[in-house]
Amino acid sequence: MNTIVNTMTTKVVKSSKEPSSTKDGFRIWFDTALIRQHKQAESILERVCRSKYSGIILYPDNLEKYQKQINGHLQKIISVKDKGELTELINKKIIQPGEESGKQIVIATSNEELLEFHNKLKICYKAFVKDADTLHKAIEVGKKFDYLSILFDDPTNIPLELVIAELQPTDTILMKEIKSTNDVEDAIVSLGVMEVGADGIIFSPDSHETYNSFIKELDDLVTSHIKLQVGTITRSEPIGMGYRGCIDLAAIFHPDEGMLVGSTSQGGLLCCPEVFYLPYMELRPFRVNAGGVHSYVFNANTTDYLSELKAGSSVMVVNAAGKVKKYPVGRIKTEIRPLRLIEAEFEGGKKVNVIMQDDWHVRIYSDKVIPLNITELKPGDKVLGHVTEPGRHVGIKVDEHIIEK
């Protein structure tokens, strides 16, 4: 993975870390200790084993009961109290140190003495942080192990940031344990800040309702890639005055990121943010001058009318490789401006158009990820966009014959 640098944060991604076992790149563990406390948890475990979770935390007293239902793609994290419990598991050949198959098994413990098994087994050091002393101890001990799982007593993410900074030079994989069994928001936020945060979470929903909510939010979060295509400009001309909207995000754009905007549900063009040189004004790296208020703004699994977006709406940001992020809208700024119609043709003769403010500083991306001033576009120019099958109802794809012009 590349090192990501922008004006707000710097994230060094450790390529030496072992890859996640999930296709979406998230490590998410479920703790079977919950089953002792909540009646629904056993049936939730059955669903977890078929979901986007990547690991299950087991215990010596429930290994035999649950390990058979755990699918091969799931890591087994076995929690032990001390060397005696671990030695017993080794003697029973439940754990076989040094074998290739052992990569799917992690030993979780809060006992520092188990560090002596570090070269033979994958070990996760479990820490509870309630103050500065326990925070520093968690860091110093945790960096010696393969994994560090931390449960914070307080809801702030400030101590988590300190742990991340300290662990960057190491190969230790950081797991944040979600304190509440029904705090979906904390779980999703923790995963959402993985770009500058933890490598994964431990979250054990205490009801099917909470589980459903988490999976729904997770599905939105992991829509991580969209296919971009190269189109050819066929038309670019002024069309008079109209209302256009700028989308201001609570985010800072990178110079290869933008938003997909189009006049029809068949697709959109990748519109540039205001991160490039402007001779008469300061840059606004949070803004995309998106286009006419009638426009579709392409989101993860849906589309939104630009006119419907407002502060707090969630929108999709796409980079030139098609990688997707989601950010909240800060505001929509709508004004009457001169407008320009831009049309591009893609493979198979499919045409996409967008109506944008007719001004030199408004730009879309070329196929070489170069910002093109829309007033200088000409037929034959190559641009980036996204083409899909037309047909939307309240933003959701529907299978019906629809013609949009």
| Structure-token pair, residue 356 | 């944008």
Segment 376-389 shows an average pLDDT of 94
The strand pairing partners of 328, in sequence order, are 314
Note whether 207 and 308 are same-domain residues: no
Among residues 221, 237, 265, the one where a domain terminates is 221
Q: How far apart are CA 15 and CA 401, in angstroms?
A: 47
Q: What pLDDT shows up at residue 16?
A: 44
Whether the CB-CB separation of 77 and 175 falls below 8 Å is answered with no
Nearest to 228 by CA among 272, 175, 191, 267: 267
Whether the CB-CB separation of 10 and 165 falls below 8 Å is answered with no
Note whether 117 and 24 are same-domain residues: yes
Q: Does residue 11 lie within any of the structural domains?
A: no
Whether the CB-CB separation of 386 and 268 falls below 8 Å is answered with yes
Q: Is the pLDDT of residue 8 over 50?
A: no
pLDDT digits (tens, 9 = 90+) for 125-179: 999 999 999 999 999 999 999 999 999 998 877 888 889 889 988 999 999 999 9
Note whether 128 and 242 are same-domain residues: no
Note whether 202 and 293 are same-domain residues: no
Q: Does residue 52 lie within any of the structural domains?
A: yes
Note whether 197 and 263 are same-domain residues: no
Please give the radius of gyration of the chain, using alpha carbons only, rounded to the nearest integer: 25
Q: Does residue 404 lie within any of the structural domains?
A: no
Question: What element of type H or E holds 167?
Answer: helix 158-167
In which region does residue 257 sit, left (phi positive, over 0), alpha (psi from -120 to 50) or beta (all else)?
Answer: beta
Note whether 192 and 277 are same-domain residues: no
pLDDT digits (tens, 9 = 90+) for 272-302: 999 998 888 899 999 999 999 999 999 877 8
Note whether 203 and 290 are same-domain residues: no
Total domains present in the chain = 2
Q: What pLDDT shows up at residue 232?
A: 98
Note whether 351 and 390 are same-domain residues: yes
| Structure-token pair, residue 308 | 């419907």
Among residues 221, 246, 266, the one where a domain terminates is 221
In order of 6, 20, 169, the CA distances from 10 in angstroms are 7, 22, 14
In order of 166, 283, 310, 347, the CA distances from 287 in angstroms are 33, 9, 14, 30
Note whether 156 and 290 are same-domain residues: no
| Structure-token pair, residue 321 | 């490789």
Q: What pLDDT shows up at residue 164?
A: 86
Among residues 221, 254, 281, the one where a domain terminates is 221
Segment 351-356 shows an average pLDDT of 97
Residue 312 burial (10 A CB sphere; 0-12, 13-18, 19+): exposed
Q: Does residue 3 lie within any of the structural domains?
A: no
Cβ atoms within 10 Å of 287's Cβ, excluding its own:
18
DSSP reduced 3-state for 179: coil
pLDDT band at 42 (very low <50, low <70, confident <90, very high): confident
Note whether 108 and 183 are same-domain residues: yes
CATH classification of the domain holding 114: 3.20.20.70
Domain limits at 359? 229-397
CATH classification of the domain holding 289: 2.170.16
Note whether 207 and 283 are same-domain residues: no
Cβ atoms within 10 Å of 320's Cβ, excluding its own:
18
Q: Does residue 349 lie within any of the structural domains?
A: yes
Q: Does residue 151 lie within any of the structural domains?
A: yes
Strand 324-345, strand 229-249: pairing: antiparallel
Whether the CB-CB separation of 7 and 252 falls below 8 Å is answered with yes
Q: Does residue 2 lie within any of the structural domains?
A: no
Look at 217 and 145; give whichever has higher pLDDT: 145
Note whether 168 and 255 are same-domain residues: no
pLDDT digits (tens, 9 = 90+) for 202-215: 999 999 999 999 98
pLDDT band at 192 (very low <50, low <70, confident <90, very high): low
The residues, any chain, with a CB within 8 Å of residue 65's CB and separated by 6 or more, are: none
